[in-house]
């Protein structure tokens, strides 16, 4: 066998075959799983139930990949590198259904997964798939365990499913090894968090990141008041509650967004409550001239426009034409007319007009360690060597943003990371080099309390026309 999947024929359309296709796409593309999933679901005709199952399978396998591999590897005699990529993903699909999806009968999970080999023209792999998954099924019991252990798999509801024999590392002898296998996180990341946050916080983060991220909506005040949106959702039988942000709504269940009442009318957009704090922290007002330097896919950009009452101008920049189209589509649905998009070509060294914006948002590319429940694939793509490169880019983007803001204007730096190198240290580096900027406020959100993790800092450019610069806001606010 070879690891290449390039000659693989198109899969017949079932929930599992589409899920397998998306998982394989994740190996070949740097796009987030949500974008790849949306693309595939737009290409096929699946029932609403099958679309939900496809989504559950994709996110479940990505979220629990470390756990699934820990269970599968002892059952496979050949090295992982000698198993084709599609075959590993098919094994993970089957294992996820057998171990973690209680609403799918084991025989259906096994048979439907083995059938994938037929569907892609690899009949010879059916015996291998069948044998490994049947061996795994014998390891799974229906018993619950009160606490985690080498023979207990954590579940989304906080409980543990007991195994017929110990498979995972012993939590007493190797606590980080256990957390990595049980909660499906890379060991290097756990070691990093353990040094900075302690083992209890590592376990809390692991438990949060093995659950699906909650669904938050941001009501669009240009179209509807939050109270009215809550009423419409609850009247439709959807359990919806207001969040702490004045526009936030939390849904108890994950529902396909396009099936929600008010989607086509632009009453809301999907955005985590932590992300909503970013545009609010910049505090734009109607009539301002605002730059969003890293704008795609447009969640924070459109929030700026809503806060400005759709009055003023916003220039939304990004390096990807395709992602800029997402902004234009979103602005059209939300009824926003004040956003213009512009592609920046990084190789051409293009410059934006200096000192010409009242406010600048720079939501930089980052490690995504604050949003691993929402972007589960990021935990497997991120490597320790990536952080220095990300920090270098973040510093460059922050300096570029600062060059664009007028004297007296503000710059809002934000990430969806919980790593201090990407957050506080980038801001302190800028302040050490730019005496014309002061730090007005900052905030760090911890994952799961109650939403995503992230960081923002608002900087103010001193106005030389003032006799003395304001100093009352220079202390950072940490939450």
Q: Give the H or E element holding residue 385.
A: none
Contact 59, 33 (CB under 8 A): yes
CA–CA gap between residue 419 and residue 75 (Å, rounded): 36
Distance CA 341, CA 345 (A): 13
Using alpha carbons, select from 391, 415, 413, 417 the residue that is nearest to residue 401: 413
In this structure, how many other beta carbons lie within 10 angstroms of the beta carbon of residue 329?
A: 12
434-453: burial string, b at 16+ Cβ within 10 Å, e else = beebbbbbbbbbbbbeebbb
Provide the 3-class DSSP secondary structure of residue 134.
helix
Residue 232 phi/psi, 5° resolution?
A: -65, -45
Task: Write down the catalytic residue from 26, 294, 404, 416.
Answer: 416
Say how far apart CA 413 and CA 432 lie, in whole Å. Answer: 16
Question: At which residue do the structure tokens 């990595």 appear?
Answer: 180
> Is-catalytic flag, 26?
no
Helix (H) or strand (E) holding 209: helix 199-209
DSSP string for residues in 274-327: HHHHHHHHH---TT-EEEETT-TT-HHHHHHHHHTTT-SEEEEEES-HHHHHHH
3 state SS of 101: coil
Chain centroid offset of residue 160 CA = 25
Q: Count Cα atoms within 13 angstroms, Cβ side, for 323.
A: 19
Where do we find the tokens 């957390």? 179
What is the number of residues in the chain? 479
- Which residues are annotated as catalytic? 416
């Amino acid at each position: 066998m070879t690891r290449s999947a390039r000659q693989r024929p198109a899969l017949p359309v079932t929930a599992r075959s589409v899920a397998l296709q998306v998982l394989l796409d994740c190996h070949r593309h740097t796009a987030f799983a949500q974008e790849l999933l949306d693309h595939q679901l737009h290409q096929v005709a699946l029932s609403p139930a099958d679309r939900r199952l496809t989504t559950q399978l994709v996110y479940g396998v990505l979220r629990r990949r470390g756990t699934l591999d820990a269970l599968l590897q002892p059952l496979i005699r050949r090295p992982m590198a000698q198993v084709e990529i599609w075959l590993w993903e098919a094994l993970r699909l089957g294992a996820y259904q057998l171990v973690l999806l209680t609403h799918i009968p084991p025989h259906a999970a096994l048979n439907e997964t083995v059938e994938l080999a037929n569907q892609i023209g690899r009949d010879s792999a059916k015996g291998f798939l069948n044998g490994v998954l049947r061996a795994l099924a014998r390891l799974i019991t229906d018993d619950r365990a009160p606490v985690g252990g080498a023979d207990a798999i954590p579940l989304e509801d906080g409980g543990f499913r007991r195994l017929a024999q110990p498979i995972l590392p012993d939590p007493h002898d190797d606590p980080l090894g256990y957390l990595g296998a049980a909660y499906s996180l890379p060991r290097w990341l756990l070691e990093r968090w353990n040094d900075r946050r302690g083992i209890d916080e590592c376990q809390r983060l692991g438990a949060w990141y093995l659950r699906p991220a909650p669904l938050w909506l941001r009501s669009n005040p240009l179209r509807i008041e939050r109270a009215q949106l809550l009423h419409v959702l609850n009247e439709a039988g959807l359990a919806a509650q207001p969040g702490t942000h004045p526009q936030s709504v939390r849904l108890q269940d994950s529902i396909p967004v396009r099936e929600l009442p008010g989607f086509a009318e632009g009453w809301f957009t999907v955005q985590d409550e932590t992300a909503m704090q970013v545009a609010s922290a910049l505090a734009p007002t109607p009539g301002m001239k605002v730059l969003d330097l890293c704008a795609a896919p447009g969640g924070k950009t459109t929030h700026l426009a809503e806060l400005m009452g759709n009055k003023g101008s916003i220039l939304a920049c990004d390096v990807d034409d395709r992602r800029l189209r997402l902004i234009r589509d979103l602005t059209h649905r939300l009824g926003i007319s004040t956003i213009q998009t512009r592609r920046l070509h990084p190789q051409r060294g293009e410059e934006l007009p200096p000192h010409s914006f009242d406010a600048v948002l720079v939501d930089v590319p980052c490690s995504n360690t604050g949003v691993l429940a929402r972007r589960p694939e990021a935990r497997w793509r991120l490597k320790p060597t990536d952080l220095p490169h990300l920090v270098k880019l973040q510093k460059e983007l922050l300096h570029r943003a600062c060059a664009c803001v007028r004297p007296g204007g503000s710059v809002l730096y934000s990430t969806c990371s919980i790593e201090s190198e990407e957050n506080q240290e980038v801001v302190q580096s800028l302040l050490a080099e730019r005496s014309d900027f002061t730090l007005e406020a900052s905030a760090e959100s911890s994952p799961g309390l109650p939403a995503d993790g992230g960081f923002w800092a608002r900087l103010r450019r001193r106005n030389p026309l003032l006799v003395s610069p304001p100093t009352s806001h220079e202390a950072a606010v940490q939450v």
